[in-house]
Amino acid sequence: LRGEIIRSEKMKIVSDIAASVAHEVRNPLTSVRGFIQLMGKDDLTTSNRQYYQKICLEELDRAEHIISDYLTFAKPEPEKIEVIEMKNEIDYVANVLTSYANYQNVQIIIQIEQDELLILGDKNKLRQALINIGKNSIEAMPEGGNLTFTAHSINGHVVISVGDTGIGMTKEQMNRLGTPYYSTKDKGTGLGTMVSFSIIRKMQGKIEVKSELAKGTTYMITIARLNASK
């Protein structure tokens, strides 16, 4: 599957993040409510009570994961467009991911040969996009590995790559990547990639993904570079 490429334009994007997060969180809340009602019954067996409690906790975790894929940084505020220096952002994102990476035996490597890689955009949204991608990379390396961030300038654009040495994806996984609710994980939301793609797309950027089974996956994000000379 070498060289397989997906472009964000092909993806079905849910554009209104605020509206869809409200919708998504409502489902687990509704089921937690139902189970708490059941737990109020007098003739409840211990095993049923434990079962209901387990489901409630799982559903609350699910709500928490949905919120964190959507809204850890990218709050549904009006966009705040500012000058972003890519090295700062990558350092920031790597910091946020460090404890998760350590926990999974993943080493984070940053390769940026150039200062002053500037773009325009909403800093919090870009952080959300990179963190969702980085989290997937870490989750793709259950036995540990390297998570590499690079940034450089090509033809008036800044190209940011996020690469892992993980399990990679099949062609069919690649085709579904970025579509809502597509997840191969036990507790996945299937929303992280969609949110990232939609953020990059709003920045007029492009995302390409290359993946090879058992070798790893690299996301490449291309965004117009802002002229540094002022």
Name the residues that contact ligand ADP, by CB under 6 A. 132, 136-137, 140, 164, 166-167, 169, 173, 177, 182-185, 188-194, 217
Structure tokens at 133: 């991608």
For residue 36, the one-letter residue type is: I
List alpha helices for 72-150, DSSP H: 86-103, 123-139
- Which CB, 66 or 84, lies closer to ligand ADP? 66
Q: Which amino acid is at 94?
A: A
Q: 190-219 mask for Mg ion (x: CB under 5 A)?
A: --x---------------------------
Query: Residue 128 or residue 137: which is nearer to ligand ADP going by CB?
Result: 137
Closer CB to Mg ion, residue 136 or residue 217? 136
167, containing H or E segment: none
Do residues 204 and 219 touch, judged by C-beta distance below 8 A? no
In a 3-state reduction of DSSP, which class is residue 147?
strand
147-177: string of b/e by CB count within 10 Å (b at 16+)? Answer: bbbbbebeeebbbbbbbbbbbbbeeebbebb
Q: Decide: helix, strand or coil at residue 160.
A: strand
Contact of residue 183 among Mg ion, ligand ADP, none (CB under 5-8 Å per partner type): ligand ADP
Minimum CB–partner distance for residue 229 and Mg ion (Å): 38
Beta carbon nearer to ligand ADP, 75 or 185: 185
- C-alpha 84/C-alpha 230 separation (Å) is 14
Write down the least CB distance from residue 192 to ligand ADP, Å: 3
Distance of closest approach, residue 100 Cβ to Mg ion, in angstroms: 12
* Alpha-carbon gap, residue 189 to 128, rounded angstroms: 15
> Interface residues for Mg ion in 126-145 (CB under 5 A)?
136
Q: Based on the shown chain and the rule CB under 5 A, indicate whether residue 166 belongs to the binding site for Mg ion.
A: no
Residues at the site binding Mg ion, with contacts judged by CB under 5 A: 136, 192
